[in-house]
Structure 1
């Protein structure tokens, strides 16, 4: 996995989780859903990169 893509995936996961938790605390359901989507996108990116690495070997 390239270092840049790995960092981008982790960043999306961390930011998404922070947005989700903050929005839930404040009571903003729409923003919490956007944070959850961002977190899921980061997890999908990480899975994609791991799959690419698996087939390279």
Structure 2
């Protein structure tokens, strides 16, 4: 499993929690930071998933 996949999933979770905390407290900045972090995490996770697929395809050959 690619390292980016794991780190990205962690950022997604952290961003989701931060976004929720911002909503609960009414802090728009924290909410926005959470959304950004969640999006960055999702992109990083997708990069890791793609790397895994490429590695698996190479192993099959």
Gaps of 5+ in 1: none
User: Which stretch of the first structure deviates more once superposed, 10-19 or 45-54?
Assistant: 45-54
Give 2:20's aligned residue: 21
Which 4+ stretches in 1 moved above 3 angstroms?
A: none
Partners in 1 of 2:31 and 2:45 — Cα distance? 21
Spell out, residue by residue over 1:9-33, the C-alpha distance to the aligned partner (whole angstroms, 9 max, x if none): 1110111000000111100111101
5+ residue gaps, structure 2, are: none
CA RMSD between the two structures:
1.3
- Counterpart CA distance in 1 for 2:8 and 2:28 is 24
Q: Please tell me whether the aligned partners of residues 21 and 30 of structure 2 are also in contact (alpha carbons under 8 angstroms).
A: no
Displacement, 1:55?
A: 2.6
Aligned length: 56
| TM-score normalised according to structure 1 size | 0.83
